[in-house]
Amino acid sequence: EVQLVESGGGSVQAGGSLRISCLASGSTFASSAMGWYRQAPGKECELVSTIGSDDSEYYAASVKGRFSISRDDAKNTVYLQMNSLKPEDTGVYYCTSKPARLPSHIVVRITAKCSGPDWGQGTQVTVSS
């Protein structure tokens, strides 16, 4: 079982930037797709972005052009750079080693439980207007 630990969340004003990180345990990181989901208060947990072992990327329509996902296989870490943040980006951001896999051109809202094996504990991101 992969252990995932998110960090880097915090509070920022609208228009600002944050970078969150997810450190994974285990030796299979480099061959694993990784993903970020988020859950706003009172809402379902939804897919934000994924990155494949081949560095292929997927972004939800709501964050495309503002967020950027990357990975450092030598550090077993996946990052999410969030720019031009909006109040609607507020939520708990979860890292997973079992993300939904979608072609980059697909526009669809994907939700998940965001808990259990293969999920981190989450990091809070708060964007104020």
Q: How confident is the model at residue 93 (pLDDT cuts 50, 70, 90)?
A: very high
> What are the structure tokens assigned to 16, written together?
């600002």
Does pLDDT of 1 surpass 80?
Answer: no
- Position 79 scores a pLDDT of 98
For 61, residues 6+ apart whose C-beta sits below 8 A from its C-beta are 107
The average pLDDT across 105-126 equals: 93
